[in-house]
């Protein structure tokens, strides 16, 4: 049996979950792996508040150097979050030759290159399973289980708050604002929800998956990011009538080394497996050239689910320490999967367009005429009956170029016969 001395920095929600998991299942983990996890230090500025779990006597400290500079600590678990002190802690741990486990997607998305360079110098491991998809072992799947594959497409539901809001809107036929307020009251959304609902958190996770898949640490710049504030109940209902659900997706697609990277709401088929990922759950759908379609599903956040991934990483680090095999799976290894990022205007996809058209003869001809001039072919048109002076019109298109669609939407929006700015969402068929 080999002991591994764990130093945790950050005794918040996830930190408490990790302590609880190790106390409950430490003996089982030791039986399974031959490695006994020992909670040696838990560092936080606040060591008095009740977290519902009590770390071993003597482990709590307000002095982070008792973790970072303590020769007895085998692995540093960074659960502070953010990109300020967390970054300093991670770099200091690596400089001291200590392996790091982190759940910090913002840090990796923004500063991954610097951190991996430091890890390279130190030859200490960096593991970050909990940074994407909470408890779902999707990073392990991507870089170990699917290592034999050219990864052609990754489509993820990666933010539980957004998926919860969209699911509730659909189930309760409620507006975005109303559901957001309820979610905030229930603790499923932050007081300032912009990090989640504007797609930033999803993009942080998506860039990690994209980087692992295509061998270049991309950061946030290449990502086109839209959130879910523009999704209305009306669109959710119309989409449902047409056999679709609206989800906030992270989409990473590769063709011949050209990679699309985008985060936006999209219609996906109700019949698709990803379409059944509801509430706070996350899922990562992956298409590889050899394995075909696969999917990984589970809780994307929360004290316990995240702890499951953090402890799995601790065990991976400990297995490496035990067998002296650090860098067995490198924290990040550049490779040649990547040639260029496809600019957003160049992508082609299918579209859902909703217009508020004045109920006059010839409007449909005007609209479809503009679409035709932009080489956008129409798959279906639904005009809703109403007793209002303007009628909702829903158009689904075949594959079309994004720049053509944006140009067409501008022209359609300027028509006197169109009563409000056109609403447009992309469609992902997942086939």
Summarize as ranges the residues that interact with a copy of itself (CB under 8 A). Answer: 17, 21, 24-25, 28-29, 31-34, 129, 135-137, 140-141, 143-150, 215, 271, 273, 276-277, 281, 288-299, 304-305, 307-309, 311-312, 315-316, 319-320, 322-330, 333, 335-337
Closest approach, Cβ 150 to a copy of itself, in A, equals 6
Q: Judged by CB, which is closer to a copy of itself: 176, or 332?
A: 332
Closest approach, Cβ 430 to a copy of itself, in A, equals 12
In sequence order, what are the beta bridge partners of 340? 258
Spatial separation of the C-alpha atoms in residues 31 and 387, rounded to whole Å = 70
Q: Judged by CB, which is closer to a copy of itself: 252, or 353?
A: 252
Chain center to CA of 424: 22
Q: How far is CA 160 from CA 21, 171, 201, 231, in A?
A: 22, 16, 10, 16
Residues 6+ apart with CB under 8 A from 428: 155, 249, 251, 266, 267, 268, 349
- φ/ψ of 153, rounded to 5, equals -160, 135
Catalytic residue from among 87, 105, 140, 205? 205
Spatial separation of the C-alpha atoms in residues 149 and 79, rounded to whole Å = 32
User: How many CA within 13 A on the CB side of residue 285?
Assistant: 19
Q: Is 87 noted as a catalytic residue in this protein?
A: no
Q: Is the dihedral of CA 123, 126, 308, 212 positive or negative?
A: negative
Q: Judged by CB, which is closer to a copy of itself: 91, or 295?
A: 295
Closest approach, Cβ 301 to a copy of itself, in A, equals 11
Q: Give 301-335 as a DSSP string.
A: SSHHHHHHHHHHHHHHHHHHHHTT-TTSS-S----
Q: Judged by CB, which is closer to a copy of itself: 258, or 329?
A: 329
Closest approach, Cβ 254 to a copy of itself, in A, equals 12
Closest approach, Cβ 290 to a copy of itself, in A, equals 4
Q: Give 41-79 as a DSSP string.
A: EEE-S--SS--S--PPTT-EES-THHHHT-TT--EEEE-
Q: Judged by CB, which is closer to a copy of itself: 176, or 281?
A: 281
Positions annotated as catalytic residues are 205
């Amino acid at each position: 049996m080999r002991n591994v001395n764990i130093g945790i920095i950050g005794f918040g929600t996830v930190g408490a979950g990790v302590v609880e998991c190790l106390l409950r299942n430490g003996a089982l983990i030791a039986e399974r792996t031959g490695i006994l996890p020992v909670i040696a230090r838990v560092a936080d500025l606040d060591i008095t508040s009740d977290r519902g779990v009590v770390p071993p006597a003597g482990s709590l400290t307000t002095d982070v150097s008792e973790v970072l500079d303590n020769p007895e600590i085998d692995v540093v678990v960074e659960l502070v979050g953010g990109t300020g002190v967390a970054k300093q802690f991670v770099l200091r741990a690596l400089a001291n030759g200590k392996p790091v486990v982190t759940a910090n997607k913002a840090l990796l998305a923004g500063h991954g290159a610097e951190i991996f360079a430091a890890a390279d110098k130190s030859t200490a491991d960096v593991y970050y399973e909990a940074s994407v998809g909470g408890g779902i072992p999707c990073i392990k799947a991507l870089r170990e289980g699917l290592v034999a594959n050219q990864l052609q497409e990754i489509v993820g539901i990666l933010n539980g708050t957004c998926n919860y809001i969209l699911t509730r809107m659909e189930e309760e036929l409620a507006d975005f604002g109303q559901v957001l307020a309820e979610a905030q009251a229930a603790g499923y959304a932050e007081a300032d929800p912009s990090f989640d609902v504007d797609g930033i958190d999803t993009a942080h996770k998506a860039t990690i998956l994209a980087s692992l898949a295509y061998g270049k640490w991309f950061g946030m710049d290449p990502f086109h990011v839209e959130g879910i504030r523009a999704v209305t109940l009306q669109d959710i209902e119309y989409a449902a009538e047409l056999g679709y659900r609206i989800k906030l997706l992270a989409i990473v697609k590769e063709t011949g080394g050209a990679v699309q990277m985008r985060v936006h709401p999209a219609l996906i088929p109700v019949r698709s497996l990803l379409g059944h990922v509801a509430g706070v759950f996350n899922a990562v759908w992956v298409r590889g050239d050899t394995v075909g379609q696969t999917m990984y599903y589970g809780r994307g956040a929360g004290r316990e689910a995240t702890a499951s991934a953090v402890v799995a990483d601790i065990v991976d680090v400990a297995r490496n320490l035990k067998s002296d095999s650090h860098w067995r799976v490198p924290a990040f290894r550049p490779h040649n999967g990547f040639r260029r990022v496809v600019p957003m205007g160049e992508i082609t996809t299918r579209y859902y367009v909703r217009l508020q058209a004045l109920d006059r003869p010839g409007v449909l001809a005007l609209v479809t005429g503009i679409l035709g001039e932009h080489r956008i072919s129409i798959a279906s048109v639904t005009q809703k009956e109403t007793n209002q002076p303007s009628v909702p019109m829903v158009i689904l298109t075949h594959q079309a170029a994004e720049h053509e669609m944006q140009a067409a939407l501008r022209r359609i929006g300027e028509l006197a016969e169109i009563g409000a700015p056109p609403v447009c969402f992309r469609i992902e068929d997942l086939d």
